[in-house]
Structure 1
Amino acid sequence: MLETPDDLARLQTLLDASHARSTEHLRGIINDDRTLTAAQVAALLTGMKVISVATVTAHGEPRISAMDGHFLHGTWTFSTSRTAAKARHLAARPAVSVAHVDGEALAVFSHGRAVEIEGDDLARVDDHWSAHYGSSPLSWGDVVMYRLEPTWMVGYAWKRADLLAERGVDA
């Protein structure tokens, strides 16, 4: 877990605000017994996680694909080839939805904007990814890395106490 106290505070504010402005239907499913705190989300999302990233085409048609995601400093980072359709969609229309679903046990749903990572931030993210993969994703071709700037996010655990105990995360 790489989140600083400020990262966790920002994430907690986002989680609380997102849950509060969610529909009654969603709050009925992701109720107080099933929500996750920022610290729990960050602890549960260490390492690489498969995420579903949804974009839209120029014609407004939705597209979703599975990607490697790394949750760093309270948000998702992900990458793709600049030649991929996903990169073209994000360059033209950066609005994105990102979800990580681990069966019925855990889910984190988010919406926001994908921002290309550059400069010193790119070096830090690349260092993290390189440690995981054993080589830099930037060496794999014309790769672009993104950070999700979330405007809405909720964390869900079907049986929160059981999940946290099973995965060694403090309640």
Structure 2
Amino acid sequence: MRETPDEVAELQRLLDASLRGATGHLRSIVAERTITAEQLTGVLTGMCVLSLATVTATGEPRISAVDGHFLHGRWIFGTAPTAAKARHLAARPAASVSHLRGEDLGVFVHGRVEAIDLSREPDLLQYVREFYGDDAFDWENEVVYFRLQPHFMTVYAPDLDKLR
């Protein structure tokens, strides 16, 4: 867990507001089967495969997988700067991600991405270099990282013990 107490509190406010604003159908599924922000930050450690939804210039949806890292209460993910998803996000930063672990965990987030300049975020650069290996990429030219700033986030986790 890399979140500060303030970041956990902010995440909890987002989870609560998202659940309050959700449809009745979604609330009927999630309300009694969710976990707290603090519990979630303990579950989302290391690399988590995300399904990332973007939109083409003609409004067609596209979904792909990315390596997600939940850091400071936000999803961080990278891709090649030449990837279609990178072009989509640069032009249309609205995105959705989901992380699923069978029927035991579902994390669903909608928001807007921001490109991350790793040279301005040395802690994040150190994290990804340690995770992937210092020489895994030309960190300035072969990969671009994004942070999803969420406006909606909900979690389905019917049995926390199965996630530990």
What is the Cα deviation at residue 96 of structure 1?
Answer: 0.2
Q: CA RMSD in A?
A: 1.5
Residue 113 of structure 1: aligned partner: 112
TM-score, scaled relative to structure 1:
0.90
Residue 153 of structure 2: aligned partner: 153
Distance 1:116 1:36, change over 3 A: same
Residue 15 of structure 1: aligned partner: 15
Task: String of CA shifts for 1:61-94, please: whole Å, max 9, x gaps.
Answer: 0000011000000010000111000000000000
Residue 129 of structure 2: aligned partner: 130
Residues 118 and 125 of structure 2 are in contact (CA less than 8 Å); yes or no, is this contact kept in structure 1? no
Residues 118 and 124 of structure 2 are in contact (CA less than 8 Å); yes or no, is this contact kept in structure 1? no
Residues 126 and 137 of structure 1 are in contact (CA less than 8 Å); yes or no, is this contact kept in structure 2? no
SS of the equivalent of 1:77 reads: strand
SS of the equivalent of 1:51 reads: strand
SS of the equivalent of 1:15 reads: helix
Q: How many residues align?
A: 163
Residues 137 and 143 of structure 1 are in contact (CA less than 8 Å); yes or no, is this contact kept in structure 2? no
TM-score, scaled relative to structure 2:
0.93
Q: Distance in 2 between matches of 1:150 and 1:144?
A: 19
Task: String of CA shifts for 1:13-56, please: whole Å, max 9, x gaps.
Answer: 00000011000000111022x11111111110010000010000
Give the AA of the match of 1:44: V
Residues 106 and 156 of structure 2 are in contact (CA less than 8 Å); yes or no, is this contact kept in structure 1? yes
SS of the equivalent of 1:60 reads: coil
Q: Distance in 2 between matches of 1:155 and 1:107?
A: 6
Segments ≥4 residues shifted beyond 2 Å: 119-123, 135-138
Matches within 5 A, 1:62-81: 62-81=61-80
SS of the equivalent of 1:139 reads: coil
Q: Percent identity?
A: 55
Task: String of CA shifts for 1:84-115, please: whole Å, max 9, x gaps.
Answer: 00000000000000110000001110000010
Q: Which 5+ residue runs of structure 1 have no aligned equivalent?
A: none
Distance 1:17 1:137, change over 3 A: farther
Give the AA of the match of 2:79: T
What is the Cα deviation at residue 138 of structure 1?
Answer: 4.8
Q: Distance in 2 between matches of 1:95 and 1:39?
A: 26
Q: Distance in 2 between matches of 1:153 and 1:31?
A: 13
Which one is further off, 136-145 or 98-107?
136-145
Residues 77 and 148 of structure 1 are in contact (CA less than 8 Å); yes or no, is this contact kept in structure 2? yes
What is the Cα deviation at residue 163 of structure 1?
Answer: 2.4
Q: Which 5+ residue runs of structure 2 have no aligned equivalent?
A: none
